Amino acid sequence: MLFRSVPELPEVELARRDLYRWTVTGESLSFTTVDAKTVRGKLSTNPKDALIDGVSRLSEDVNGCRAVNVLRAGKRLGWQFDGPVSLLVHLGMSGKWVSRDTSELSHVRVRVQVGTSTLSFIDPRRFGCLVPVPTAALGEWLNRGLGPDALEHPMDGPSLSRACNSGEPSRPCCSTRNASREWATFRLPRPCGVRVCVRAERRVA
């Protein structure tokens, strides 16, 4: 399959655990932006949404800070620092964080020095992004527009059936919602013999 490496929910959780293990060490972080368009003003898969001053924002607001936590909501990561600015992280379709010799890596967008270790954000398709947000509002940004988390609140068959046929709109947390799109969930009319939810995508002008 062509996009077999697309990060799904369990892979994003593994990325969260790796970032926590690699960076919540009490050592200060130093960011080097290789691709300026990776630093964006909002969660977006479009490099055109890059912050004009994104490189300087990382350099001035984040460099020298220490990581205190790495959170996850759906496929979003919240990298919490001990300073006034933290980062929202989205892996996109092909993004991943690695801890190894960067001289052998291609498609590196951002490097982070943590003590003697170097982390690299690799993203061949450039859909992933880092978004600077106020640390005090990190939780709000992280959970904005999302529903229950599929890993934290797993549903069995009967619960899923009730949710799908309740008539209430739902927005699964495992789905990505861009600012340029609006998601709507429809319930099939009963009795129909099939209990499923159909999610439609509508472009917003």
Whether cis (ω within 30° of 0) applies to the bond prior to 191 is yes
pLDDT one-digit tens code per residue, 36-57: 999 999 999 999 999 999 999 9
Per-residue tokens: 10: 């369990």
Q: What is the pLDDT of residue 159?
A: 74
More confident residue, 59 or 191: 59
Mean pLDDT of the chain: 79
- Domain 9-143, CATH homologous superfamily name and number: MutM-like, N-terminal (3.20.190.10)
Q: Are 93 and 3 in contact (CB under 8 A)?
A: yes
Rounded Cα–Cα distance for residues 114 and 65 (Å): 10
pLDDT one-digit tens code per residue, 147-185: 666 666 677 778 777 777 766 655 544 444 443 333 333
Q: What is the pLDDT of residue 104?
A: 77
Instruction: Find residue 134's DSSP bridge partners.
Output: 85
pLDDT one-digit tens code per residue, 23-32: 999 999 999 9
Going from N- to C-terminal start, the domains of the chain cover: 9-143, 157-203
Kindly give the residue spans of alpha helices, DSSP state H, lying in 102-178: 138-143, 157-164
Rounded Cα–Cα distance for residues 21 and 113 (Å): 14
| For the chain, the helix, strand and coil percentages under 3-state DSSP, each to the nearest 5 | 25, 30, 45
Reported pTM: 0.72
